[in-house]
Structure 1
Amino acid sequence: MGFYRKIPSFDIGELNIENMFITDFLPIASGTYVKVYLMGLLFSKEENKNYRFDNAVLANMLKIPIEDIHEAWIYWEGKKLIVRHFHEDQVAYDVEFLSLRELYILDNFVSKSTAPSKTASAKNAVFVKENEKFKALCARIEKIIATPLKHADYRKINDFYTHYYKNADIIVRAFEYNYIERNIRNIKAIDSLLNSWIDQGFSTIEAIDQSIEMSTRRFKVYKEVLRILGMSFRMANQAEKEAIDRWIDEYHFEPNDLYDLLKSFSKSTMNMNFNYIETRLKDLHARNILTFEAYSRTEKPENTASQKSIPAKSRKKQYTIEKERTYSEDELEALLLKKGKNLK
């Protein structure tokens, strides 16, 4: 595979874009911001000076709200790619595009006769450091997902890094957990996972790993409970998870005791469902019977209880089994004589 460009036979104009914009800024910016930048850059060309372009025209051409245009210019101004020059009303403004090459040269190559600007050097150092950190983060993620990141992925990861966690290790841990351990190969799921970690107040890798370990153990409990109930072919739904969590966290049954109790319950009913289990476990919890051993001591076997409910005479008749026996010749003769007398 390769890339090449066909030389045009006629010229209808083209837009020169600096390579640094494409390599360093385009992958991490939203699509809307990129469209605004490129269209604005087109408007800034010398041949377009005779036309009156403003943000309203730009919004109309791109078919996006005017608010998105202003947000885009604020974003690019923050990246030092443009400068907004406000009018006297302090509302309208002109946009000046800065040369990336010039900025790079001024920040990195200073004449020997000129003392370096501490402010410019400090800003450049921060930018370079953040950019390198982000590139390293993306490289680590590509190793995990085993495929090159797309432009949309770069933007999403930049959003994670900017708005969720500045700690790259946490973002990498989210990709490891979803892509490798859970086999959920969807970058959108990372968004949900990071949000849940923030909601739970996790700010360190240690806290996140502890939560993951607990979730993994609980997942095994869900799976085993469904297996005992004959539903190993599917995952537990949310209501079932909440019920199992309640049996463990509120009723304080250990998983192994819970498994044994469920197996015992299944012997006494043909309708083994979550409502039935909830009733039985809630009753045991109220009686402070929290282990299978305690349950075995206090609960009598189901078959014994069922036998006691049958009257003694009925049980005797039920278990009376007529057996065959053998007779001698004398006994047979006596039986026949007795039978003959009875017939007379």
Structure 2
Amino acid sequence: MPDCTFSKDSAMMDITPVENMFILEYMRGAPGEYVKVYLCGLMQCYSPALSSHDIEKATGLCAEDIYDAFCYWQNLGLVRITNNDPLKVEYRNCKRIQLSAEPSLQPCRYTELIERLSAVMSGRVLSMNELRKVYDWAEVFGFEQDTIVLLADYCVNNRKKGAKVSINYMDTVAKAWADSGVNTVEQAMRQIEEYEELNSGAAKLLKRWRAGRRPTEDELKMYAVWTREWGFDDNAIFAAAAVTTGASRPSFDYLNAVLLSYKEEGITDEESIAEHRRDKDMRAEMARLTFKRAHIKRSPTFDERELIGSWVDEMNIPREMVLLAAEYSIGAAKPFLMIKKLIEEWHKAGVKTVKAARAHHEEAQSQQRPPVKTSHAKYNYPQRKYTAEELAHIAVSLADEETDEERI
């Protein structure tokens, strides 16, 4: 049987029927360039003599843009791409799609949604893969269409890229909302408010640390644990952040460890944290003064600071007594152990004042002095006293004896 076709010129004089359902349900929400591609492709279905180059010429689009357009229509179920190179497209009947029982084959119900998203995103045309994610938000996450529009508006207005915000970022936010049980606009609004509170607090921390970036999702989750589970408010967290000032690289992990220690001690409000910090600073200063008074060149360790603090706070040893013990330890082989020994002795003896401590120390020193050595009894002969004349006579006699010896 011969293969017969109309000539290419006949297409100009022919007609291309367009379903009213396409015009009423699909066309209004579609980008104008994509409508051109759909109509030209439909014309090619009725006039096979036309080539892809004719479509490019008629639409003024390149091959890549034409492919994106067909991907858009494929995502709506109106066409099916059967081959990519060369590009082959199979058109489907709009009425059949509308009457189909399968939700995925009824994309016209999202026409209004796509139109609203396009308006929110400054006329941006979503690709096939991007639209697939949008449909997942509705069909998998169960979002209302108003919720999806709110999601897009929130992401566009809270990212520097604006309307060019990544669909992957929007999908991340959508998943976070879904994990929190968000479906309706009201639930989404509450989620946004809570997120903004977390983001604001976390951002202030980063600004305090001079980190020029936004908080990560993991950091926001950590901040949420601090505020929602551990009971810290923003002011308490900022008060605790003062601990990280001396760190070379302050971080959320470091602050998390600090807050965990406070939580375990039952310290969760700003005032308690500030008081705890003052006590800690006083202990550190007392330890520094003690080491300085004892002429110890190194810095006190954490355990040594805590021990000195316990003498003052728990054993009620006056600070002046601790410094006195430090003075007494100067020159000792192990001065800190000497200080510790004196404090324990004074505490055991009930010594409460510096005066009493001095007296106790002097008494202990006197008991440790060695006894004065005396001559043995058998050498203690009675001593004879000589007059000046007797001493002179003895000297003369000794001189004569020396002269006699020389003569001999």
With normalisation by structure 2, the TM-score equals: 0.46
- Partners of 1:129 and 1:302 lie apart in 2 by 70
Matches within 5 A, 1:144-293: 144-149=208-213, 150-151=215-216, 152-165=218-231, 167-175=233-241, 177-180=242-245, 185-238=250-303, 240-266=304-330, 269-274=332-337, 276-293=338-355
Does 153-162 or 195-204 show the bigger shift? 153-162
Question: Which amino acid counterpart does residue 286 of structure 1 have in structure 2?
Answer: K
8 Å CA contact 2:325, 2:339 repeated in 1: no
8 Å CA contact 1:223, 1:236 repeated in 2: no
- Partners of 1:208 and 1:289 lie apart in 2 by 34
- Partners of 1:308 and 1:226 lie apart in 2 by 31
Displacement of 1:236 after TM fit? 0.8
- Partners of 1:302 and 1:338 lie apart in 2 by 56
- Partners of 1:303 and 1:280 lie apart in 2 by 12
Question: Which amino acid counterpart does residue 193 of structure 2 have in structure 1?
Answer: K
- Partners of 2:144 and 2:398 lie apart in 1 by 128
**Greater RCO between the two (CA within 8 Å, min separation 6)?**
1
Name the SS of the counterpart of 2:335 in structure 1: coil
- Partners of 1:242 and 1:228 lie apart in 2 by 18
- Partners of 2:247 and 2:311 lie apart in 1 by 25
Name the SS of the counterpart of 1:299 in structure 2: helix
Which residue number corresponds to residue 360 of structure 2?
A: 298
Which residue of the other structure, out of 206, 209, 212, is the alignment partner of 1:142? 206
- CA separation of 1:259/1:172 partners in 2, compared to 1, >3 Å: closer, same or farther? same
Displacement of 1:307 after TM fit? 5.4
- CA separation of 1:221/1:271 partners in 2, compared to 1, >3 Å: closer, same or farther? same
- Partners of 2:300 and 2:219 lie apart in 1 by 29
8 Å CA contact 2:198, 2:220 repeated in 1: no
- CA separation of 1:227/1:170 partners in 2, compared to 1, >3 Å: closer, same or farther? same
Does the alignment pair 1:102 with 2:168? no
Which residue number corresponds to residue 65 of structure 1?
A: none
- CA separation of 1:335/1:237 partners in 2, compared to 1, >3 Å: closer, same or farther? farther
Matches within 5 A, 1:311-330: 311=373
- CA separation of 1:125/1:174 partners in 2, compared to 1, >3 Å: closer, same or farther? same
Displacement of 1:208 after TM fit? 1.2
Displacement of 1:190 after TM fit? 0.6
Displacement of 1:185 after TM fit? 1.9
Question: Which amino acid counterpart does residue 201 of structure 2 have in structure 1?
Answer: L
Displacement of 1:169 after TM fit? 1.3
Name the SS of the counterpart of 1:185 in structure 2: coil
- CA separation of 1:301/1:293 partners in 2, compared to 1, >3 Å: closer, same or farther? same
Question: Which amino acid counterpart does residue 127 of structure 1 have in structure 2?
Answer: Q
8 Å CA contact 1:178, 1:185 repeated in 2: no
Question: Which amino acid counterpart does residue 270 of structure 1 have in structure 2?
Answer: A
Question: Which amino acid counterpart does residue 244 of structure 2 have in structure 1?
Answer: Y
- CA separation of 1:120/1:280 partners in 2, compared to 1, >3 Å: closer, same or farther? same
Displacement of 1:124 after TM fit? 5.2
Per-residue CA shift, 1:293-327, capped at 9, x if unaligned?
2111333278766656223569xxxxxxxxxxxxx
- Partners of 2:229 and 2:307 lie apart in 1 by 35
8 Å CA contact 1:145, 1:179 repeated in 2: no
Greater C-alpha Rg: 2
Name the SS of the counterpart of 1:45 in structure 2: helix
Question: Which amino acid counterpart does residue 196 of structure 2 have in structure 1?
Answer: E
Structure 2, unaligned stretches of length 5 or more? 1-62, 73-128, 155-182, 377-391
- CA separation of 1:232/1:129 partners in 2, compared to 1, >3 Å: closer, same or farther? farther
- Partners of 1:101 and 1:218 lie apart in 2 by 56
Identity of aligned residues (%): 10
Displacement of 1:146 after TM fit? 0.9
- Partners of 1:272 and 1:96 lie apart in 2 by 72
Question: Which amino acid counterpart does residue 129 of structure 1 have in structure 2?
Answer: E
Question: Which amino acid counterpart does residue 400 of structure 2 have in structure 1?
Answer: K
Per-residue CA shift, 1:129-184, capped at 9, x if unaligned?
32332232133213310112452434433443333335111112222x12336666
Which residue number corresponds to residue 319 of structure 1?
A: none
With normalisation by structure 1, the TM-score equals: 0.53
| Moved segments of 4+, more than 6 Å | 8-14, 333-336
- Partners of 1:187 and 1:232 lie apart in 2 by 34
- Partners of 1:182 and 1:106 lie apart in 2 by 39
Question: Which amino acid counterpart does residue 169 of structure 1 have in structure 2?
Answer: N
- Partners of 1:141 and 1:82 lie apart in 2 by 33
- CA separation of 1:158/1:312 partners in 2, compared to 1, >3 Å: closer, same or farther? same
- Partners of 1:44 and 1:313 lie apart in 2 by 113
Question: Which amino acid counterpart does residue 45 of structure 1 have in structure 2?
Answer: R
Paired residues, number: 237
